Amino acid sequence: MSEPEILICPICDAANRVPRVRLADAPRCGKCKAALFEGKPLALDARRFDRLIRTGSLPVLVDFWAEWCGPCKAMAPTFAAAAGDLEPGFRLVKIDTEAEQTLAHRYAIRSIPTLMLVVGGREVARQSGVMDRASLVRWARVAAAG
């Protein structure tokens, strides 16, 4: 039997153990009963992001963006749609580089939008610039398998 995945609740940040074979069964948080997957990226601050990558076991696909960035705004619907393609095997999150400058500095984000894939708490791949949905999904899956 495979190890369960550790899913961090998007509402209360509780850690939930879910058998891998049950990920697609709309799991709910054991603490607050919220859905563990919402079909959309989570907007996180530094504290919640750190908890997610430190405690959660799913690959985390991060979109570093800013409100003033035109390409970021163009990429936002594509990234949101990719959540439907990649969940429940991935957790997708958005980090506003203006609000979370310490994270942007920690990961040396020099241009936006930048996508970063974190597996097991460490960065395994990075891609800057706008991508179409199919390319984004393919890139994430190949990088996570990698």
Residue 146: the pLDDT is 83
6 within a domain of the structure (yes/no): no
CATH number of the domain within which 45 lies: 3.40.30.10
Distance, CA of 125 to CA of 71 (rounded, Å): 20
Is 16 within a domain?
Answer: no
Helices (H), the chain: 46-55, 70-86, 101-106, 133-145
Query: For the whole model, what pTM was predicted?
Result: 0.96
pLDDT over 70 at 1, yes or no: no
Helix pair angle (70-86, 133-145), 10° resolution: 60
Of the candidates 49, 59, 40, 62, the one whose C-alpha atom is nearest the C-alpha of residue 115 is: 62
| Host domain of residue 70 | 38-145
46 is written with which tokens?
């530094």
What is the number of domains present in the chain? 1
Separation of CA 45 from chain center: 12
Note the pLDDT tens digit of each residue in 69-123.
Answer: 999 999 999 999 999 999 999 999 999 999 999 999 999 999 999 999 999 999 9
Active site residues: 69, 72
Determine, yes or no, domain membership for 70.
yes
Residue 76 lies in a domain: yes
Let me know: does 64 contact 116? Beta carbons within 8 Å.
Answer: yes
pLDDT over 70 (residue 24): yes
Residue 56 within a domain = yes
Within a domain: 93: yes
Question: At a CB cut-off of 8 Å and minimum separation 6, what does 61 contact?
Answer: 82, 86, 90, 91, 92, 93, 115, 116, 117, 140
Q: Is the pLDDT of residue 14 over 80?
A: yes
Q: In whole angstroms, how far apart are CA 80 and each of 16, 25, 45, 88, 104? A: 23, 21, 18, 14, 21
Residue 30 covered by a domain: no
